[in-house]
Chain A
Amino acid sequence: MKQVNRIVGGRCVDYDAEIGFTFNGKSYQGLRGDTLASALLANGVDVLARSFKYGRPRGIIAAGVEEPNAILQVGATEATQVPNVRATQQILYAGLVCRSTSGSPSLRWSLTGLVGRLFGRLMPPGFYYKTFMFPGFMWRFYEYVMRRVAGLGKAPTVKDPDIYDHLNHHCDLLIIGAGPAGLTAARVAGKSGARVVILDEQAQLGGCLLHMNNRIDGLPPATWLAQTLEQLTGLDNVLMLPGTAAVGYHDHNFIVAHEIVAHKTSGHKMAGHKIVNHAGRDDSPRLPRERIHKIRAAQVILATGAQERPLVFSNNDLPGCIQASATSVYIHRYGVLPGRRLVLMTTNDHGYQAALDWHAAGVAGQESDEKRGRARRQVVAVVDARPQADSPLIQAIRSAGIRVISGSAVIEAIGKRRVRGVKIAAIDSLGGSVTGKVETISCDTLASSGGWSPVVHLSCHTGSKPIWHDEYGCFVPGETIQAQHCAGAITGVMTLGSVLAQGAESGRVAALAAGFSLSLSDDDIPQAEAIEEAPGIQLFHLPHIKSTSRAPKQFVDFQLDVSAADIELAAREGFESIEHVKRYTALGFGTDQGKLGNVAGVAITARVLGKSIAETGTTMFRPNYTPISFGSVVGRDCGELFDPVRYTAIQSWHEQQGAKFENVGQWKRPWYYPRPGESMQDSLNRECLAVRQQVGILDASTLGKIDIQGPDVREFLNRIYTNAWLKLPVGQCRYGLMCGEDGMVIDDGVTAALGDNHFLMHTTTGGAAQILEWLELWHQTEWQELRVYFNSVTDQWNTATLSGPKSRDLLQGLTDIDLSGEAFPFMHWRVGRVAGIPARVFRVSFTGELSYEINVQANYGLRLWQMLVSHGEQYEITPYGTETMHILRAEKGFVIVGQDTDGSVTPDDLGMGWALSKQKRFSFIGKRGMARGDCQSRGRKQLVGLLPVDPEYLLSEGSQLVCDPAQIANMVGHVTSSYYSATLGRCFALALVKDGHRRMGETIYSPGVKSVSRATICEPVFYDPEGERQNV
C-alpha cells in the first residue's frame, strides 16, 4: 500500500529505509524514524479507535504523549503483548504488529457506536454508577461486558520473555526535557563541570527544534541542534538519555524515568552502554526491553515545555481534527501531511505556523500531486477568534492568498468517519455566543490551537499546586520545596529567544546551587530571531447556535468521553470543587491524565460557577506522567532473584539427599527427607521415631546468633530478658524469654556465658535481625552507660544438632570432650575438637531428647556434617527436617514464638511464669507491661494442649475453638500447632484458649465445614513431662 500522505523533507525519517508493519491485520509501509502514529497517518489511516463510552470513531489528534485516542495493542506473539501503547510514543520497527483495542465487534461497525448514537443523551456523567449499581451480584457480569466493549488493552497470558532493568544515577543537575531550554541549560551547566543528566521522552533530542523554522544564532534549527548535541556528547560529565520519560518526581529530588531501550533508532551516549541500533527485538535478546532510571539529583531543571490545547467545539473528536502544532510536527519531523484541505482555527499567532507549513508543503508537492491526479494540498481558510489581530505571521498568510476569517470560530465539524467540512460563524468578543450567520466550508482536516498548557505535571508530583497565570493564560508550576528550577515554555513563556535565555540562566543558577559557579558569557545565550506577535485571547469552549446540552457533543476529555455538557451538568448538580467534578465526570482519569482537556474542563466549570479559573484551580497530577509496564517496575527482581534465598553451608548435602525445602524467612531449610515411596507423613513418622529411639541430625545453622561482649553484658541481659543473668557461671547456658515493653513475648532462645564479659545469644531464625536492632535500640537510646557490643555471628557458625538417646555415643567417638553426664551436664557448653575441627558444643535440647548442638566455623560446617553422618551410620543416624523438629518440640510443649504466640501473649499466658524473675532490681523490659490489670485479669487466652477425641483427627492449625458447638460465633480460642505424633500414636495440638489453664479436662469444639470435632483440653506437655530424657 502506498504512503499517500508522505511528503519530502521529513527531518527525522530515513526515506531509503522502508519498514513493514501490520495494523489490524493489514500490512503497511513506514520509514525508519517514524513513530507508529506518523506511519499510520502517512498511510492515510484515519480511524484508530472507538471511543470509550459512545463508541465514536477516533483518530490521531496529537504527536506526543498527550495523545488521548491512538492507544493500541502492540505485539506479534502472545508473550510480547503490550497493552495501551500510545502510537505517538511507539517507535516504528520492522515487523511491528498492532491492533485497535476498542470497537466491538469491529472498528467499522461498533456496537457502542450505535448505542452512543441512539442513547448518548441518556448517558450523563455518573451513568455507570447510577445504572449498574443493582443488583450487586450482577456487577461481575456488567464489568465483563463493559470491559470488552470499552476497549481496554489485554495483558499477555504467558511469561514475558524479555528482561527489564533498573539503573541508578546521581547527578548535580537533572534536566528534564531536551528542547531549546533544556539543551541550553545542559550546555551551560556542562561547562561548569557539574554532573549533568539530560533526558527527553522523545527518541530524538531537540523538542520543538525538530519541527520549528526559527533560526538560532543565525543557523537553521536543525543545524544548531546538531551542533549543540555534538558539544554535549563531547562532555564526559553530561549524560544524555533520549527516549526516556521522567514519569515520577518524588520527594528529595528523586526522579524515576522510564526508557524503552528496544527499538531505539538513533543513539547518543547512553548510560555507558554501547548504543544499539535495532529494528526488532529478536536480533538482540540480551538487552532489556525497558529500563527504569532512578535518579537522585541535587538540582532539577524542569524544561518540559508545553502542550497545545485544542479547542472544544461540536464533533471536535472527528478524525481529521488535530492540534495545530501536531501538523507542523508531522510535516517537519516525519514528512507526513495528514490531509489535503486544511481549515485552521486559532486564538493566537502560534496556530498560524501550522497553516504556513501546510501551505508551503502543498506548494512544494503541487507538481507531483497534479502528475498523479490528486487534489492539491491547500489551506482553505484560517479562522481567527480574535476580532482584529494583525502581525507579520497573519500578513504572511494573507499574502499567500489564504482567506483569514476574523472574529469567528468553527462551531461544528461535519463528517462521519473523517472531517468533510466545518461550520463557521462569527462569535462575540468573549466567545460566549454565536453572533453571525453560519457558513459551511468543505475541508478534510481541522487544526486548532487554543493556546498552550505548560507541562506542570512533574512539579505537581511532590505536592506543589500549579497556579493560574492570567497574562499567559495557563497554569504554571507553583511554589515548591524541592530544589527545582523551571525554564522554557513550562513557565508560560513561548517566544524562542526568551526560552533560550531562560535555559541558559537556569543552567547557571542550578549549577551554582549545586556548588559549581560560572558566569554566563554572551556565547552561552543563543540568540533567536524575534518574531513580532499579536496577543492571543483566552478561549477554550466555543459557542454553538444551540445550547451546550443540545448541540452535537463537544468533547473535553477524549479518552474517557467527557463532554462540555457533562461538565456543565456536574457543576449544576452541585459539584463545585474541581476535584469533585473530576471524579464525577471522570475528567482526566484516563491514562493520558487529561493532558489535552484538563484546562478546558476547569474553564467550563469556572464559567458555570461564575468564578475565575484561578479561583477554581486545577486538579493535581500524580505519578506516573505516562503509563509504564509492570515489567519495568519489577526489573530484575523476578524469578530466582525475586527475593534473596539464604543457604546454610550444608545446602549441597541436603539437595543430594533429596530433601524437601521449607522457606523460613529468606532461608531455605530442609523440611523433611523423603525416601523413595514414602509419603510426607511416612517420612515424618520415620524421622520422629529415629530421634526418639536412636539419633537424628538437624541443620540448625539458621538460628540467630548474637555475640555480646563488654563489662556490662550481664546487666544488659538482665534488663532485656525476663529472667536473671547476673550469676550464670561461665560454661553454662540458660533459656531466656524476651518481651516487649507491653509484656508480650517477642523472642526466645538459649544464651550462653562464654566468658565473664562475653555471651552468645541465640534468637529465633526469623527474629535475628529484628532482635539485634532491638538490643541496639535499648543500648543506644536508653542505656548508653552500659559498656557492651553486639555483633551478628549467625553466618559465622554452622550448627549441627545431634538429638536422640544414641547421640552421646555417636559424638564421643569423634571428640576429645568428655561427654559424660557428670563432666558435661545439661544446659552446659564445652569447647574442644569434633572430627578434628575446633568446635563449641552446647548441651541443650529442643526435642526433649539428649542433644548436642555442635558449632563450627561455617567454612568447616559441611566437613563436620559429612563426618558426623558417616560416623553415625553405625548408629543409624537419620537426618531430620524442620517439620519433625516441630512435631518433637510440640510433644514437649516447647513453643515457637510467632507460631504459638501472636504478639498478644505474655509469659504467664504460656505457662512460663517460671521464666520471670521477681527479684531483679531493674524493672526488666516487659515487667511493668505484663503487670497491667488487663494482663492479669480473667479471660486471657492461655496455652494448652488438645487431644482430639478421635485420635486420628488432625485439627487444622488456625481453626477456631468454641465451648458450645451450637454457638459457633462464640469463639474462645484457636489451634496454634497441630500434628500427628508417631511417638504417641495419635494426633495432638497446641492451642490458645481463654482461661485455658483453668479448663483442664474440659471438652472443646472445633467447627469445621462439614462437621464439628471434639477435643479434650490438657497440659501442653505430651511426652516425658519430667524431662528425664534430655537430662540423662
Chain B
Amino acid sequence: MKHLSMNHLPDSPREGHSPLAQAGSLQPPVGGLALSITEKVMLGHLVIRGDSDAPELARAIHDLLGLRLPSAPLQSCEDEHQGRVLRWVSPDEWLLTLPGENLTEVEAGLRARLDERFAIVDVSGGQTMLHLSGEDAELVLRKSTSYDVHLVNFPEGKTVIITFARSQVMLRRLSADSFELIVRRSFADYIWRWIHDAASEDGSALRKGDN
C-alpha cells in the first residue's frame, strides 16, 4: 500500500450535520444587545504545515489558490470572490477555509505540489465557523476574552487564537462590527450558549443556520 491520503471525503454527501445542528432547539431571548450569529456550515477547513521559508509552499498557495501566503504573525489573506481565506496560525501553520465543494480538489492539488516535508490535515468536520456581527459584537467579545479586540489593536483581517470564556476560538475581524469565530466542534455548543447568555443582557436577537 502506497502513501494513502484519507483525510478527505471524495464527493462528500451533503447530508451531514454541522456542529451546531443540535443547538437549533435553543430559544432566542427577547430584546437584547444588537448582535447576530450565523453558523457558516459545511465549509472546507484545511490545516497546512511547513517551513514558511520554503519557496514551493508560497508558490503552491499562489498557483493553486491565487493567495499570498501570510508570513507575518496573525495576518490573513482573503479571496472574497472565491470564498477562500488563508490565516497565519503559527510560524509553520496556516488554516485555509474554502467552500466545501472545492475541498477535495484543493487538497489533492496541494498534495500534488507539496512533498512529504509539508503536511495537509483536513479538519472540516472538527470545527465550524461563526459570524458574529452587530453594534454590540465587540462588547460581547470583551465579555468573553482577555484579548484586546479594539480596532486599534485588532484591525480588519487580523487573526488570533485566544481564550474565549473557558474555551478557545480562532478569531478574525471582518469589519468594524463583524467577526469570524472558528470553534472546535465539541466546544461549539458551549460557545453558542455562552454568546447567547452574554448577549441576553438586555435580551438579544440571535440567528443561526442561514448561510
Contacts and interface: CB of A to CB of B under 8 A. Distances in A.
Complex: A in contact with B (CB within 8 Å): yes
Interface of A: 163, 165-170, 195, 271-274, 286-288, 294, 296, 636-637, 640-641, 643-649, 651-652, 667, 702, 707, 709-711, 729-731, 754-758, 787, 789, 791-798, 831, 836-838, 840, 856-863
Contacts of B86: none
A400 to B, nearest CB: 53
A645 B3 contact: no
Interface of B: 1-10, 12-13, 15-19, 22, 31-32, 42, 47, 49, 92-93, 116-117, 119-127, 136, 138-139, 142-143, 145-148, 150, 152-153, 165-167, 184-187, 189-190, 193-194, 197-198, 200-203
Contact of B203 (A286, A296, A647): A286
B6 A831 contact: yes
Given A647-B186, A798-B125, A857-B125, 4 more contacts: A168-B143, A643-B166, A795-B125, A795-B126
Contact of B12 (A167, A272, A643, A857): A857
B42 to A, nearest CB: 7
A857 B32 CA distance: 37
Contacts of A644: 165-167, 187, 190
Nearest to A636: B197
A296 B146 contact: yes
6 contacts: A272-B136, A707-B7, A709-B119, A797-B125, A837-B9, A863-B15
Given A272-B136, A797-B125, A170 B193 contact: no
A168 B119 CA distance: 37
A646 B192 CA distance: 12
Contacts of A709: 49, 116, 119-121
Contacts of B200: 286
A702 B184 CA distance: 13
Contacts of A862: 17
A730 B189 contact: no
B24 to A, nearest CB: 10
A789 B50 CA distance: 8
A791 B121 contact: yes
B171 to A, nearest CB: 13
Given A711-B116, A789-B49, A798-B125, A649 B185 contact: yes
Q: Which of B5, B6, B92, B138 has the most CB of A within 10 A?
A: B6
A791 B13 contact: no
Contact of B142 (A169, A796, A861): A169
Nearest to A237: B152
Main DSSP-derived SS at the A contact region: mixed
A796 B122 contact: yes
A66 to B, nearest CB: 32
Contact of B190 (A288, A646, A707, A758): A646
B26 to A, nearest CB: 11
A838 B10 contact: yes
A1030 to B, nearest CB: 23
Contacts of B22: 647, 651-652
Contacts of A195: 150, 152
A858 B193 contact: no
Nearest to B42: A859
Q: Which 4 A-B pairs have CB atoms at the shortest separation, nearest pair first?
A: A859-B16, A796-B126, A795-B126, A858-B125
A272 B134 CA distance: 13
A794 B13 contact: no
Given A644-B187, A709-B121, A731-B1, A857 B197 contact: no
A637 B18 CA distance: 26
A748 B153 CA distance: 43
Contacts of B3: 730, 755-758
A856 B18 CA distance: 14
A91 to B, nearest CB: 20
Contacts of B19: 649, 858-859
A636 B193 CA distance: 11
Given A195-B150, A857-B124, A646 B186 contact: yes
Nearest to A163: B201
B123 A796 contact: yes
Given A168-B145, A754-B6, A857-B16, A646 B166 contact: no
A193 to B, nearest CB: 10
Q: Which of B147, B153, B189 has the most CB of A within 10 A?
A: B189
Contact of A641 (B1, B16, B18, B193): B193
A118 to B, nearest CB: 55
A793 B123 contact: yes
B12 A838 contact: yes
B56 to A, nearest CB: 15
Contacts of A836: 13
Contacts of A859: 16-19, 42, 124-125
B13 A757 contact: no
A283 to B, nearest CB: 13
Contacts of A170: 148, 150, 153
Contact of A791 (B1, B47, B189): B47
A855 to B, nearest CB: 9
Contacts of A860: 9, 12-13, 15-17, 125
A709 B92 CA distance: 13
Nearest to B143: A167
A912 to B, nearest CB: 29
Contacts of B123: 791, 793, 795-796
A859 to B, nearest CB: 3
